[in-house]
Amino acid sequence: MLKDRLETNGYDIVHLNFDESTDYMQNSAYLVQKAIKELKAHSEREEDIVIIGLSSGGVIAKYALADWEKRFSEDHEVRLNVAFDAGFDGNNAPVGAQYMIQHLNDMRVSGINCLVLILLYSFTLLS
């Protein structure tokens, strides 16, 4: 497992999960910035930070670092920002599918969102 291999090689793993997935991306980016500041303040290590962002996490991390470089004079000390499956060019979901998801959300049908999103993802792979 990747986590075990990284820890064996001396990396400290910090997992940042966004509880409110419908919040503004900027608010999540500010949370990333806060986590970086906390790491820098409490870490005894001298190595730079490596960020791995999955999906929208990759976009949020990129925004957080770009915003940091514009607003703060101190270095963020992030050596590497890796993004997996990040939609830097946006996401293309058919309008009808978006309305269907909204309609199902309004009906409050539990468990259906995951199924619909998996079907949409499969549809984009097949088309």
- Over its length of 127 residues, how does the chain's per-residue pLDDT go in tens digits? 777 888 888 888 888 877 777 788 899 999 999 999 988 888 887 888 888 888 888 889 999 999 999 999 999 999 988 888 787 777 666 777 777 767 666 655 555 444 555 555 544 444 4
- Between the CA atoms of 32, 62, 39 and 6, what dihedral angle is there, to the nearest 10 degrees? 120
Q: What's the DSSP call for residue 23?
A: S
- Between the CA atoms of 57, 58, 62 and 63, what dihedral angle is there, to the nearest 10 degrees? -40
